[in-house]
């Protein structure tokens, strides 16, 4: 896989060598068991896969190239580069301005953007409408386009579905930048609809089968459907794609359910004409990170720490999985771990910060902690979280000795 040129301060002196060693031993990525770091009174189960993915490193490299190639020019990002505060703060520190927030609300009016400016497309991609708006201003959106290749793969899959006269069902979060972009690209060629979860897929299936009145479609789904979407016509042939960072098991369950609906409605023999086998459109990193999370869940950890941006979809799904087994603390950096032993962590279900005092167990030794992060979190931040936790324990083995003693 391509090596990217990203700033050294994103790199990790602790996690980096562990990842490299695991990759060299398991180049085909068959082993999802975590790495155990034994410091004596505290142990860490480090997930097999986490942190910067191909798309994130590609986006960071292109952003810094834009800075280096355009001294003295104003440089803008359409919105956050990725959902990680450390990365976005660093880019803003270098003078890059964000045109919109993550919900698409304008921070800088379009009439202030000129053809002399540089505009970077974030890793999530952007809508066809915004691309056209930039071109009308004389800006080339493709010049510094950091759209993740796996997002573009979903767009191509949606386009092919449209060419084959299938309606596109998008499993995603309607307000997420990636889903907004995918929806925009999808409805250029196909009737398109966004659903958020398996429960909505069941409701949709009942509407398709006539088990629920059609006015429920108007109430629940109309605002998430493309213009001219006619549920009496556009549910005859369907295919499922997704926001690349959704929970893999749920996307599969949605596809399976809607396929069964088509079988029930049209019969097994005809179902292939009515349901497109799109297979999974999650990115490789989301798949690997979620598989590695299941590996963490097979351990006897006392708690889990997940590091990442609070608006990061892929990170929230890792939290969602780990919460099934462990007390799980979702933090953005080591700064949320307080010197008095408390932690300020994000409750993504209620979208608010909470404080837990004495979150590290005192009743047993060693304390065992599952540690991972989202795909947009620098490994260097995970390093600092590990070091912060270590600071609460006396007579721990040194980091160098622990890493050097590992056998892969």
Asked whether residue 278 carries a pLDDT value surpassing 90, the answer given is no
Across 61-83, average pLDDT:
93
Confidence tier at 343 by pLDDT (50, 70, 90):
very high
Asked whether residue 250 carries a pLDDT value surpassing 70, the answer given is yes
DSSP 165: T
Other C-beta atoms lying within 10 Å of the C-beta of residue 358: 10
Task: Confirm whether 178 is a catalytic residue.
Answer: yes
Instruction: Return the pLDDT at 53.
Output: 86
Two structure tokens written together for 101? 């927030």
Give CATH 3.40.50.11270 domain extents, the chain: 54-136
Domain 8-53+284-404 has CATH 3.40.50.300: no
51-60, 211-220, 314-323: least confident range = 51-60
Asked whether residue 97 carries a pLDDT value surpassing 80, the answer given is yes
Contact 35, 42 (CB under 8 A): no
Asked whether residue 281 carries a pLDDT value surpassing 90, the answer given is no
Give CATH 3.40.1010.20 domain extents, the chain: 8-53+284-404, 154-276
Instruction: Return the pLDDT at 28.
Output: 86
Task: Find the catalytic residue in 57, 131, 178, 250.
Answer: 178
d(CA 156, CA 317): 25
Give CATH for domain 154-276: 3.40.1010.20
Instruction: Return the pLDDT at 261.
Output: 97
Q: 333 phi and psi, to 5 degrees? A: -170, 180
Across 59-176, the runs of DSSP E, i.e. the strands, are 75-77, 97-98, 118-120, 167-171
| Distances in whole angstroms, Cα of residue 379 to Cα of each of 151, 234, 251, 384 | 23, 45, 28, 9
Confidence tier at 371 by pLDDT (50, 70, 90):
very high
Confidence tier at 282 by pLDDT (50, 70, 90):
low
Confidence tier at 1 by pLDDT (50, 70, 90):
low
The pLDDT tens digits of the residues spanning 122-157 come to 999 999 999 999 999 999 999 999 999 999 999 999
Computed over every residue of the chain, the mean pLDDT equals 93
Asked whether residue 74 carries a pLDDT value surpassing 70, the answer given is yes
The pLDDT tens digits of the residues spanning 3-54 come to 788 888 888 889 999 999 999 999 888 899 999 999 999 999 999 999 988 8
Contact 281, 244 (CB under 8 A): yes
Across 326-335, average pLDDT:
97
CATH class, 54-136 region: alpha beta
């Amino acid at each position: 896989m391509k090596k990217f040129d990203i700033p050294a301060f994103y790199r990790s002196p602790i996690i980096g060598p562990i990842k490299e060693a695991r990759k060299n031993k398991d180049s085909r990525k068959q082993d999802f068991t975590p790495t155990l770091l034994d410091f004596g009174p505290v142990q860490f189960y480090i997930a097999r896969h986490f942190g910067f993915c191909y798309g994130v490193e590609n986006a960071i490299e292109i952003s810094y190239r834009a800075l280096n190639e355009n001294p003295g020019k104003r440089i803008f990002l359409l919105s956050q580069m990725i959902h990680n505060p450390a990365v976005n703060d660093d880019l803003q520190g270098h003078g890059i301005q964000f045109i919109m927030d993550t919900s698409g609300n304008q921070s800088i009016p379009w009439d202030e953007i000129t053809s002399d400016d540089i505009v970077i497309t974030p890793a999530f991609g952007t809508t066809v409408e915004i691309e056209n708006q930039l071109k009308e201003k004389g800006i080339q959106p493709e010049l510094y386009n950091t759209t993740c290749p796996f997002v573009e793969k979903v767009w191509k899959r949606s386009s092919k579905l449209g060419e084959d006269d299938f309606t596109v069902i998008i499993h995603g979060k309607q307000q997420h930048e990636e889903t907004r972009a995918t929806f925009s690209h999808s409805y250029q060629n196909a009737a398109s609809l966004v659903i958020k979860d398996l429960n909505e897929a069941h409701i949709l299936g009942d509407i398709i089968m006539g088990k629920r009145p059609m006015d429920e479609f108007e109430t629940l789904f109309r605002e998430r459907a493309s213009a001219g979407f006619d549920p009496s016509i556009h549910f005859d042939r369907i295919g499922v794609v997704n926001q690349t960072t959704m929970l893999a098991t749920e996307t599969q369950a949605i596809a399976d359910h809607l396929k069964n609906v088509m079988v029930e409605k049209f019969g097994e023999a005809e179902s292939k004409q009515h349901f497109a086998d799109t297979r999974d459109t999650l990115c490789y990193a989301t798949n690997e990170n979620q598989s590695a999370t299941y590996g963490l869940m097979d351990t006897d950890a006392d708690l889990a720490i997940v590091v990442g941006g609070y608006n990061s979809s892929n990170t929230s799904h890792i939290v969602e999985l780990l919460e099934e087994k462990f007390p799980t603390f979702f933090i953005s950096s080591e700064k949320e771990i307080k010197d008095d032993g408390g932690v300020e962590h994000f409750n993504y279900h209620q979208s608010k910060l909470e404080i837990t005092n004495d979150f590290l167990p005192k009743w047993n030794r060693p304390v065992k902690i599952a540690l991972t992060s989202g795909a947009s979190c620098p490994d260097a931040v995970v390093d600092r979280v590990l070091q912060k936790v270590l600071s609460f324990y006396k007579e721990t083995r040194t980091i160098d000795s622990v890493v050097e003693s590992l056998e892969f």
